[in-house]
Copies of this chain bind each other. A is one copy, B any other.
Amino acid sequence: MIQISGNDLNNLDKRYRTILINSLAGIRQVALVGTMDKNRQSNLSIINSVIHIGAEPSLFGYISRPHTVERHTLENILETNHYTFNFVTEHFIKNAHQTSARYPKNQSEFKECGFQEEIFENQFVFVKEASVKIGMKFLEKITIKQNNTDLIIGEIQNVFIEPSRLEKDGFVNLENTMMNSGLDTYYVPEKIGKLSYAKPNSEPQILIS
């Protein structure tokens, strides 16, 4: 094994270190975050930090890092209290990645990156092309004091799912949607199987593979 100590980490080239630490955190679902400001100027940004916080109430979080392009997203959320998470398929990989470019606030990434806005109830802006869409209401911003990163917590208001993706038990099948690692390497999930509920003294069974 290659060993990298804390001291080694401190002495690494900044770019190498950023790529290392970012990719070490694992491969995660890509979400496009749709927002509007109070003048209905839309914004779309790419994140991979959606976090399940609870099912009752239905709470998701995500991480908003200081000094990144996603800050327009956070400004809009704080202004209007609403935002959306949108999962797109690998077909849209270039469009989705392009939302990470530094567009000025008066240019919408929806238009610049080739996505269509879908306004719902006058307050949610979804990505029309997405396979799974989640409308969120902002609840709380928690600032992590060590590096001024924000955890944004919201409650699910509504969900739109392609019928073929919703399974009988409530499971949402995210086959061929995008995931990424680091800032630029994209993946799709390949299913291994579904395992039975684990209990001491019995081995888990593969239910579906």
Residues on A facing B (Cβ under 8 Å):
1-6, 9, 12, 14-29, 31, 49-61, 63, 65, 87, 90, 93-94, 97-103, 107, 112, 132-134, 139-140, 142, 144-147, 149, 151, 153, 155-163, 166, 169-174, 177-179, 181-182, 184-200, 203-204, 207
Please tell me how many copies of the chain the complex holds: 2
A102 to B200, CA, bound (A): 6
CB distance from A200 to the nearest CB of B (A): 5
Q: Which residues of B contact A16 (CB under 8 A)?
A: 169-170
A14 to B54, CA, bound (A): 12
A185 to B64, CA, bound (A): 28
Q: Which residues of B contact A51 (CB under 8 A)?
A: 25, 49, 51, 63
- Asked if A52 and B63 make an inter-chain contact with CB atoms under 8 angstroms apart, the answer reads yes
Q: Which residues of B contact A59 (CB under 8 A)?
A: 144, 146-147, 149
- Asked if A25 and B194 make an inter-chain contact with CB atoms under 8 angstroms apart, the answer reads no
